[in-house]
Structure 1
């Protein structure tokens, strides 16, 4: 091997050192880059790589220490800019130095353990300089100051911030030193802001009615929520523009904690009810998204449930609103559903709260919602409802069925519905038989076949009766034995409501047709007995007035009374009573409908709205109407209240036996049970709500009837007697 010149190592290192210094001073290197590369290669080949590495590190340390020391002594206003420039110069210089010492990186560095590349070593030099001096703290403080300025709406040099943040990331100082300080500063900033803003929150006010005493800085909850969303967007953009990407999640978490989580109760308490009342879907959606992101769904659920109960009870507990209660409840339910869908994203927890709360307030007024719901359906299903199409009615009934789910008194609803359905079917007042079947099918799907068995039986009776009526009409036409068109509907007693028999003496022609129908029916159904209910029927009479012939649509009672005047123009109250068999209120309300109502086909003396036993009635030949067919309705008086009372009494009577049966079933299975156990199991056996007092009365009755007995030592324990 050729021996090295005596000063080879010293001269080569000197040339490389001179080159590093020239690069750092932005001066041309004394030698060409290729010559410098050869010097580095030669030294490495002769095992002087460690000397080159040590020299380069010393030069980088000296340069970084000098530059950063000078920057650190400058005013704060200049530090960030100077540091940015230093970092740009330093990385550019380091990149050129790395090119000169490329052979060192590829040989000595790779072959030596725990020796970093020139680039990494150059970065570690700067990192150490920052850590060993107060420059690190100063940079962190100044960068955070710029971030705070930007949060306050002032301008900041985002390009410099991006470069400095990237410097901290490259130096490995971001997560260890900068990130904790950034989170702490962010927490403190938004903690102050939230205390200031939440402390001055004001109730929502109409835009056209500003409160004169409201400070300019005050904001409502919707405005506050919009402000929080803006802050979230700003921090997201900040993390995208110049902060490290891993800063986004911690920063947003701090914002949500300080602005939302700590003040969730205050935000809900201040304006949730107002926002829901005003149907502020966008603001409610903001509230929902922010609260759920901080795990405050239970708080929202509590206020949501309380609001529903409060608004619902204001509707249910006011008797004056009974006329429109079901419509109001449907409107409320639709509004709540819209809030659920549009604002709360159909959240299951809030949906359960909606169902539970709705059911709770609907049943605070016992029996009434069931009665009014049945009445509402009756109004929808009557033929007079011509403003709605079949599709509209079907859609409305779907919504009513949803309301039906919340009603506990389903047995009472069935009783009212059955009564109203009977009237619609018998008086031909239904908007459509197909609609009737559709509604019964909806109830069947909702509550089972057992619930709709009698309703379906009523519809079958109408179908069967229609077939029989067609055959009987053909028979009448063939025999020509009856001067009137007679139609009868066969009702199965078990399906239909119970009706009191009416002692009505019908005209002879109707009586003959009735006897003819009985004979016809018995030929087809031997052994069955028919009981006639003329008070449920209607008739159509052609009556000649001075103006001309009019067709009058009447009840059987009205028609029977009016036919008496075909022989005599004047009859007294007593004569009408004697010829029809009607007495008391039934006769009075029939005469009132004919002589005192809107269409007065009879006149009476003396005049007046009340009918007395001394009154005299005359046929009103001068009656006039623009209609060819005139429907004369019956005077209802207080029949509605009477029927409602009868329905409720009948249902209550049935409930007593259902409670008795449930109590006996439980004790028969257990042989004995204490009072709390019995009370806890009974609701699962019953389809209606029963009070503790009612259950206690039924227990006493069962004890008296020897179905149960009390324990001799503990009266709260009951024994089943087989």
Structure 2
């Protein structure tokens, strides 16, 4: 490089004549050359101001003399004068200088190869663009006047001085050597991918140069990414495709699928990180798509085939990795979701098959636990390995709905799952010797609702649950009022107010009954003599609304003991006085009580027998007689044999009564006497146990009631549809009825058709021409 003093001497120390283009350019060329080749030292302020002044003087001269004394104005027909004409000549001389300078630079570039060529290109780019910035300032007057005017007049080949440098570089260097430079860049990137250390700043500089060269032809003050996309992004992405295509094929040939997934994860992350290191954000989408295509899409069949093995072995980390990879490509996860759904369905079916190995009779708790275990396992898998993705949740739900409603237990009847779930809820909500913590109760209720969500015949669950709730409330066996309220709240959230309306009314009736009993107690104290109060049976009453409680009258006749008759008649008089016009129907089969056995004691404390009302009537007969025959008991109580035999049998098996002859049980001709030597380890002895025959009969009657309710619901839906539509095709009516019933139960087409025929007979509907049905108001 020449020193600043030398440059000044070469340029001269005096300004050239302002109207002499040759002298002016010669003076300026020396300064431009100094700036272009000696950026570190540049020119001093005095020289810079002389150069700037020379340009200003020349552009503002009124006339200029060209070489040989020819006026420049005559070359342009005399139509332009002043700065306009003079600026054009100065602009073209600078343009030619830049062209010549870049030709020399390109010739030097051609002497280098590979990384040396890349380094030279970068050095020259830095030198040339930095000089362009200085020269832009130097020619500021030209930019402000002549260049601006030319651009405003629509000239397409005129640029501001800095943009002229870029355009010159694009023509003189880039078009001739851009592809060669880019190949050198790609070789550097390949070295980086192979683990070698490179100067990433070099790639960044080349990229920036390609971006800077994207000059918008329509508006030269703006830039586009066209040059970058064509000459940098496209070859970079293509080279990436080729590199990873070759690497992935070679790696898979020698390694397991799991190791390949780990490798693919690392490569994808590396490419993403490189965008922030030396690329620009615009390349992210095409680059990552290329990587995903060759690393995942091209090998997705192999990955999907491996999925079933990972699923069978419960390799959750591997499945998580596979999910993360296949989620990157379009439709990459669909086959996985389908296989997952089939797998969960098989697992659920297998769990119930295993449960049935111990016999055909399935208890509610093991059954529900088996359903829950499968759901919990795969719900956890969906959350941890599949990121809780909604489509995998949908696949899980589809599989669970299938194995909950169509497993081996449900082969005889689709209503078995809701029935067993309701019974499981009943066991949970009943008092037991094992105390249930509040958190455990909440957790177990949530688990019940998990299975409830998949139950198709929700009307079956509702019917059984309401019957069992009724018994818990009436018999006082609920674990707590809060637990009952919470469970009903969960059912309401899941299925709506109408589904739980009767259940909530049952709770309200029990609260009303408590208040009524309190009022009755006050009434007794005010209206009965003390002797009558002491002699009266201590009783409490539950008043149940007929329309809300799923309870039926007893199927047997019954004559209650006189002590009980006097007690309930007194309450009945009180109640009818308070609520005129109401009728009480006594549900003796749901009543219970306690009797103190004063004839036999444990440690001087009389035993207390907890009994059904029927059992109480039997034992109270022994207050008047030491021995009572079977026929006398039947005549006194008027219980039918189906009810009497099991009620009496429990007492005999508990050895409270002795049967005569010995070994006899419950049959005509047998007589019974009190066992005076009765012993039991508890003071309170519970004899009010469920009778299996009664339970079976009750279940059968419940199913019959469900079928009857369904007929009414189907008919109501059909009438509602026809009332809205007036006329409708038969098949169309069937098709529209099904979705309106699905929230309650899974209807059969045959049942819908029968209901349509019934409505035709009842003249709610009429047949019109063809297959058309009409509504009769």
- Bin the TM-score by the shorter chain: 0.7 to 0.9
Structure 1 residues 608 and 286, CA, compared in 2 at 3 Å: closer, same or farther?
farther
Provide the rounded CA distance (Å) in 2 between the counterparts of 1:28 and 1:688.
90
Provide the rounded CA distance (Å) in 2 between the counterparts of 1:292 and 1:607.
82
Structure 1 residues 315 and 607, CA, compared in 2 at 3 Å: closer, same or farther?
farther
Deviations 1:466-491 (A, max 9, x none): 33433444555643333532333333
Provide the rounded CA distance (Å) in 2 between the counterparts of 1:139 and 1:648.
84
Structure 1 residues 720 and 57, CA, compared in 2 at 3 Å: closer, same or farther?
closer
Match of 1:554 among 608, 611, 615: 611
Provide the rounded CA distance (Å) in 1 between the counterparts of 2:94 and 2:509.
107
- 1:462 and 2:510 correspond: yes
Provide the rounded CA distance (Å) in 2 between the counterparts of 1:273 and 1:440.
43
Structure 1 residues 692 and 70, CA, compared in 2 at 3 Å: closer, same or farther?
same
TM-score, length-scaled by structure 1: 0.78
Conservation of the 8 A alpha-carbon contact between 1:261 and 1:291: no
2:105 matched residue in structure 1: 64
1:644 matched residue in structure 2: 699
Equivalent positions of 1:517-536 (< 5 A) are: 517-536=571-590
1:594 matched residue in structure 2: 651
Secondary structure, in 3 states, of the residue corresponding to 1:540?
Answer: strand
Secondary structure, in 3 states, of the residue corresponding to 2:514?
Answer: helix
1:500 matched residue in structure 2: 554
Per-residue deviation at 1:402?
6.0
Equivalent positions of 1:603-618 (< 5 A) are: none
Equivalent positions of 1:68-87 (< 5 A) are: 68-72=109-113, 79-85=114-120, 87=122
Match of 1:248 among 279, 284, 292: 284
Moved more, 372-381 or 680-689: 680-689
Structure 1 residues 285 and 624, CA, compared in 2 at 3 Å: closer, same or farther?
farther
Match of 2:543 among 490, 496, 499: 490
Structure 1: tracts of 5 or more residues without a match: 73-78, 201-214
Provide the rounded CA distance (Å) in 1 between the counterparts of 2:672 and 2:492.
50
Structure 1 residues 23 and 514, CA, compared in 2 at 3 Å: closer, same or farther?
closer
Structure 2: tracts of 5 or more residues without a match: 1-13, 59-63, 65-85, 151-156, 215-226, 357-361
Conservation of the 8 A alpha-carbon contact between 1:362 and 1:406: yes
Match of 1:371 among 411, 419, 428: 419
Provide the rounded CA distance (Å) in 2 between the counterparts of 1:661 and 1:250.
59
Conservation of the 8 A alpha-carbon contact between 1:660 and 1:699: yes
Structure 1 residues 540 and 237, CA, compared in 2 at 3 Å: closer, same or farther?
same
Deviations 1:362-381 (A, max 9, x none): 54452223222322322222
Secondary structure, in 3 states, of the residue corresponding to 1:71?
Answer: coil
Provide the rounded CA distance (Å) in 2 between the counterparts of 1:438 and 1:349.
31
Structure 1 residues 65 and 445, CA, compared in 2 at 3 Å: closer, same or farther?
closer
- 1:417 and 2:465 correspond: yes
Per-residue deviation at 1:662?
3.9
Match of 2:566 among 512, 516, 533: 512
Structure 1 residues 606 and 145, CA, compared in 2 at 3 Å: closer, same or farther?
farther
Structure 1 residues 216 and 553, CA, compared in 2 at 3 Å: closer, same or farther?
farther
Moved more, 620-629 or 371-380: 620-629
1:218 matched residue in structure 2: 256
Deviations 1:195-226 (A, max 9, x none): 667xx5xxxxxxxxxxxxxx861123xx6655
Conservation of the 8 A alpha-carbon contact between 2:39 and 2:131: no
Deviations 1:273-302 (A, max 9, x none): 955994948964983686267476766765
Conservation of the 8 A alpha-carbon contact between 1:486 and 1:510: no
Equivalent positions of 1:165-184 (< 5 A) are: 165-170=207-212, 174-184=228-238
Provide the rounded CA distance (Å) in 2 between the counterparts of 1:520 and 1:50.
118
Conservation of the 8 A alpha-carbon contact between 1:37 and 1:100: no
Conservation of the 8 A alpha-carbon contact between 1:17 and 1:59: no
Conservation of the 8 A alpha-carbon contact between 1:264 and 1:291: no
Count residues in correspondence: 691
Equivalent positions of 1:52-451 (< 5 A) are: 53=94, 56-57=97-98, 59-72=100-113, 79-85=114-120, 87-88=122-123, 91-92=126-127, 95=130, 103=138, 107=142, 111=146, 114=157, 127-128=170-171, 130-131=173-174, 133=176, 135-170=177-212, 174-193=228-247, 217-220=255-258, 227-261=263-297, 267=303, 270-271=306-307, 278=314, 280=316, 284=320, 287=323, 291=327, 294=330, 320=356, 323-329=365-371, 362-364=404-406, 365=410, 366-384=414-432, 386-390=434-438, 392-394=440-442, 396-397=444-445, 400-401=448-449, 403-444=451-492, 446-451=494-499
Per-residue deviation at 1:103?
4.1
Match of 2:732 among 674, 677, 697: 677
Per-residue deviation at 1:181?
0.9
Provide the rounded CA distance (Å) in 2 between the counterparts of 1:32 and 1:701.
109
Conservation of the 8 A alpha-carbon contact between 2:261 and 2:321: no
1:204 matched residue in structure 2: none
Secondary structure, in 3 states, of the residue corresponding to 2:692?
Answer: coil
Deviations 1:577-606 (A, max 9, x none): 45544443433322443343xx54445578
Per-residue deviation at 1:234?
1.0
Conservation of the 8 A alpha-carbon contact between 2:430 and 2:478: yes
Per-residue deviation at 1:250?
1.8
Structure 1 residues 387 and 53, CA, compared in 2 at 3 Å: closer, same or farther?
same
- 1:538 and 2:592 correspond: yes
Per-residue deviation at 1:646?
0.9
Moved more, 673-682 or 514-523: 514-523
Conservation of the 8 A alpha-carbon contact between 2:715 and 2:755: yes
Provide the rounded CA distance (Å) in 2 between the counterparts of 1:385 and 1:464.
28
Conservation of the 8 A alpha-carbon contact between 2:727 and 2:775: yes
Deviations 1:309-353 (A, max 9, x none): 555566678874754344455566666666676676776666666
Structure 1 residues 436 and 50, CA, compared in 2 at 3 Å: closer, same or farther?
closer
Provide the rounded CA distance (Å) in 2 between the counterparts of 1:431 and 1:22.
95
